[in-house]
Structure 1
Amino acid sequence: MSPTSARLRRGAMVAVLTSSLLVPLTAGAAPPAVPAAFGSGTPSPSSGPEIRTASPAVAAQLDEAIQRVMREANVPGVTVGVWTPGQQSYVRSFGVADRASGRKMTPDLYTRIGSETKTFTVTALLQLAGRGKVGLDDPIGKYVDGVPNGDRITLRQLAGMRSGLFNYSEDEGFFKALTSDPRRPFTPRELLGYAFRHPVLFPPGRKFDYSNTNLILLGLVVEKESGQRLGDYIKRHILDPAGMRDTLFPDGSEFPRPHAQGYTDQTADGKVAETAGWNPSWGWAAGAMISTLDDLRVWAPTVATGELPDGKRMITADLQRQRLVTPATPIPGAGYGLGIFNVQGWIGHNGSLPGYESLTIYLPATRTTVVVLLNTDIDHDHNEPSTLLGEAITKIISPRHVFNLPAAPAAR
């Protein structure tokens, strides 16, 4: 398998939390009823301030660090937002949205957010659980037929990436189908077909293994139990209540304007291609959504706290506590809960699919939000550019909480 094809298989996933990260769990075990504040993956912070006070000097340091990463990683364009209540915000765009025209990157652009979609899909599942429509410890076989180990894998294990199901985006046939025609649509059942031709990797709950297959199944559960299409449910019950008017779940390859052109080398021939017109349906409930900087600023505290901007609950307090139980992984300070991670105290998710990357994280201790959006997913020294930027930014603003997720070889 070539390095290029291996990297594409991460697709709409957290590439750094991969099958090499194994978390022993008891099959079917539920999390503790009263978790720690940030879950069991929380690090022991070093001395120093939780967050540095915003100042012109800090802003200048951020400007320099972001542009340095861009030069080193050959990133075309980046938009960054940093917000802490009571402090001056930092919102900057650097570079170009389109290399051909030279159009500048700006904070108002729509972008594909890849695996951040998972946070919305799992939120929908938790809402249904809160209404008694589903049980997190129900087997997936109760809702979807034909799933290997479907009588044993629970919805909780799917949301926590501990099902043992093969990741469809690592299948050779899927890779060939996608790269031969990146504009073609895929159905959820087609995606599951690529996964289910492979044997299960381990008994449910035994260890952590990031798999897009899990979210496709949860998307089908949401549709079945809500009686609505997944995108319609998310709009009505999550986006509209949160006031996120510029976030959407596309039906196909539509992409609102203005948006940046995306650049990837995850192609059949390994050459860099433009991706704005590619169809993200292959990510569906795992990675198809589109958003903006301003909307993701709203989403960061909303998903991290389970509370809508108007103070109402998005999901119940008990289910939010369960969501934020993030069992530790072999990466120090990093854990993964129910469709959300905790890295050195930062709660959120990143996203990556051909041409685009995003990072949306929230530090509860100071209510700080960081959003990073960029128009390439081309790795630099086996590191995702969004991770390099997240690390550079948090080293400056939160030295006790540095977002550092090392990428695994070949994004496995």
Structure 2
Amino acid sequence: MRLLLCFLLLLATTLPARAEVAGEMAAALREQGLTGAVWALVTPEGVATGAAGLADAGTGAAMRPDHRVQMGSVTKTVLATGVLRLVTLGHLSLDQPLADILPTVAIDNPWAATHPLRLRHLLDHTSGLDDARLWQVFSRRPVADTPLMQGIARDGQALRLRWPPGQRFSYSNTGYTLLGMVVEAVTGERYEAWLDRAFLTPLGMRDSTFGFVTQTGPGADPRLAMGHFDDGSTQAAIPWFTRPAGQFTTSAADMARLAQFLMGDGMIDGVPFIASDLLRTMGRQTGTAAARAGLPIGYALGLQIRDRHGVVGLCHSGNIVGYRAMLCLYPDQGKAFFISVNADSETASYPALDAILIRALSLPPVTPLPTAADPERAKWQGIYTPLPNRFDQFAYLDGLTATVMVMAVPDGLLLTNMQRPDRMLLPLGNGLFRQQDRTIASHVFMEDADGVSFSDGGQSYQRVPAWRFWLGWLSVGAGLLGLGWLLLIGLWRLVLGPRSLGGMVSISALLALMLPAPFLIWGQSFLALGDATVGSVLLAVVTGLLPIALLATLFLDRRRTGLLPWLDRLASLATLQWLTVLAVAGLLPFRLWG
């Protein structure tokens, strides 16, 4: 009887808390315009799962705690842990060169003699590899069993390293796709089959699979919640070229089991499954230049130290078409949470959902590190560009829009950037700074043989001469002014005259730039953006013809005199210089599938 009363008392104190979380989550989903969510809360006392919103906006079906979901890049945490199982078995070593495991994969590594690409670098995103190209992510070509090698490179091209391996963090889906190939090379099986059988099953994750699962067609899973876009439209799961980096179907309860294991001693039923020292290393980066300079946040073996909402945990976020997810572990307290939202929105605040679960866990807040006087902070002023940047295909654009201006102000350093809100950094000493809304060091500034750089744990930036940055924008400005002039004066002449052969060539080429729009916007799904479709081929053709048309205009109208013809020539030259820059950067012709 006493045991029953204790159970009822525990139930009475637990259920209202669960109901309160569900109520808060439902309100947050409505406020953020999101469809539905499932989550799990892990504490030393046990696991609580919950759900709110809709599993399918098309049918109005409510989300249930046992619905299966997808989680995008949180897959990397699971895959990395599976690789650590192979390391524990002795089939792999973290410091093993990739060339020894995948000798047929061509790697262009200029630093191979001193910095070979190792397994650890793929797990830590410190390989120097590009993240992915549009064709690897936005394509309708892959099927569920497309060989992984087809998603790595095309036409036998080597994978190019842009920085010495191990030195700087640069997120790479390509790197984790290579890890899927590593599993296949070592086990002799498809990575999905081996991981499902030899890794997920022993963990008791029977609702989870690395295999392809979707909501429609033959073999559809009625328990898999439907994905959604901003407008509430539905999107079923589709196959990916880079599937080891983001294809995983699971449930909230299964992710709670994984979280409990990751915070444990690596044993299953008293038998070692993964070496405990490997588990303790996850999320704790020590090898990069930023880590050696004292930055505590970083990525290692599939997890990243994350300082948010006044607490510090080991986390991984993820998004895939139709879903956003987050897994966070707080090992010191034996607590964790997982959430998957079946809506991929560009405007919603997903951290607001994380905050609800963090409050529900009653985690002790971290006292922010005190600031320290830093009279030398002005030495870090300057203009910094991402190096290496995440998407090599758009390195030129990142050099313009992702560049950070660092200015010394009375309280510390002010970081301004076109892509993010301004950030205030408070000095901690020795080149370390804490972002104003964080509790531990979030940035480190360094000076070495390569010059001055800084890292925020998720991206490295190199200081560049100011003239180079402003010259780049001057080139863009001149090019846009030239294009604007040629378009306006061309339309004016087209309507009112007088016309010239060269002018007709240039205005025709400019108007042709609009031809791909209907095909790209209305004629195809954005999920095929990286494929060679009618729209993308047209885009490549018209952007490739534009400089040829402008050169032809200069030649055909070379004998025209007067102010307007000279302004036309100046505009053509201004446009051509920018098009030349774009061509050198690999953005002209603009070939989405390349």
TM > 0.5 between the two?
Answer: yes
1:273–1:203 distance in 2 versus 1, CA, 3 Å: farther
Equivalent positions of 1:204-283 (< 5 A) are 204-251=165-212, 253=214, 256-264=221-229, 273-279=233-239, 281-283=240-242
Match in the other structure for 1:320: 279
In the TM superposition, what are the counterparts of 1:6-405 in structure 2 within 5 Å? 58-59=17-18, 62-86=21-45, 90-144=48-102, 145-149=105-109, 151=112, 152-168=116-132, 171-175=133-137, 177-178=139-140, 186-193=146-153, 199-251=160-212, 253=214, 256-264=221-229, 273-279=233-239, 281-305=240-264, 307-326=266-285, 334-344=297-307, 345-380=312-347, 383=349, 385=350, 387-398=351-362, 400=364
Richer in helix (by share): 2
Q: In the aligned structure 2, how far is the partner of 1:232 from the partner of 1:183?
A: 16
Structure 2 unaligned runs (5+)? Answer: 1-12, 367-417, 421-457, 460-594
Cα distance in 1 between the residues matched to 2:181 and 2:265: 22
> Which amino acid is the alignment partner of residue 334 of structure 2?
R
Change (3 A) 1:224 1:355: same
Kept in 2: contact 1:66–1:392 (CA 8 A)? yes
Larger radius of gyration: 2
**2-structure distance, mates of 1:257, 1:308:** 34
Change (3 A) 1:213 1:196: farther
Task: Give the conservation status (yes or no) of the 8 Å contact 1:346–1:401.
Answer: no
Gaps of 5+ in 1: 1-53, 266-270, 403-407
Q: CA deviation at 1:192?
A: 1.0
Aligned equivalents of 1:183, 1:272: Cα separation in 2? 26
Counterpart of 1:258 in structure 2: which amino acid? R
1:359: Cα distance to partner? 2.2
The TM-score, its normalising length taken from structure 1, stands at 0.72
**Does structure 2 conserve the Cα–Cα contact (< 8 Å) formed by 1:303 and 1:348?**
no
- Greater alpha carbon shift after TM alignment, 226-235 vs 315-324: 315-324
Shift of 1:367: 1.5
Q: Deviations over 1:206-238 (max 9, x none)?
A: 211111111111111111112222112112221
TM-aligned CA deviation for residue 184 of structure 1: 7.8
Query: d(CA) in 2 for partners of 1:273 and 1:182?
Result: 23
Structure 2: how far apart are the matches of 1:309 and 1:129? 17
CA shift, 1:273, in A, is 4.5
Distance 1:378 1:343 in 2: 22
Q: 1:18: which partner in 2? A: none
| Alpha-carbon contact 2:209-2:250 (below 8 Å) kept | yes
Deviations 1:97-143 (A, max 9, x none): 11121110101111112222212222222222223322211221222
Conserved in 1, the CA contact under 8 Å of 2:70 and 2:340? no
Return the alpha-carbon distance in structure 2 between the equivalents of residues 299 and 127 of structure 1: 14
Residue number in structure 2 paired with 1:50: none
Give me the identity figure in percent.
25
SS in 2 for 1:282: coil
Q: Deviation of residue 322 (structure 1)?
A: 3.2
8 A Cα contact 2:107 2:159, kept in partner? no
TM-score relative to the length of structure 2? 0.51
Question: Per residue, is there more strand in 1 or in 2?
Answer: 2
How many residue pairs align between the two structures?
339
Structure with more contact order per residue of length (Cα contacts < 8 Å, sep ≥ 6): 1
Distance in 2 of aligned mates of 1:61 and 1:201:
49
State the Cα RMSD in Å: 3.2
Deviation at 1:295, TM superposition (A): 0.9
- Matching residue of 2:482: none
Render the CA deviation track for 1:337-386: whole Å, top value 9, x for unaligned: 111123244234232100112223222122123121221121325x5x2x
Cα 1:146–1:197, aligned 2, differ >3 Å: closer, same or farther? closer
Q: 2-side partners of 1:90 and 1:272: how far apart?
A: 28
Q: Give deviations 1:168-201, integer Å, cap 9, x for gaps.
A: 2xx23335534xx687875321221169677433
Between 1:109-118 and 1:393-402, the stretch displaced more is 393-402
Partner AA of 1:232 in structure 2:
A
2:326 alignment partner, SS class: strand
Whole-angstrom distance in 2 between the partners of 1:306 and 1:285:
26
SS at match of 1:137: coil
Which amino acid letter does the alignment assign opposite residue 148 of structure 2? P
Q: Structure 1 pair 256/314, CA: closer, same or farther in 2 (3 Å)?
A: farther
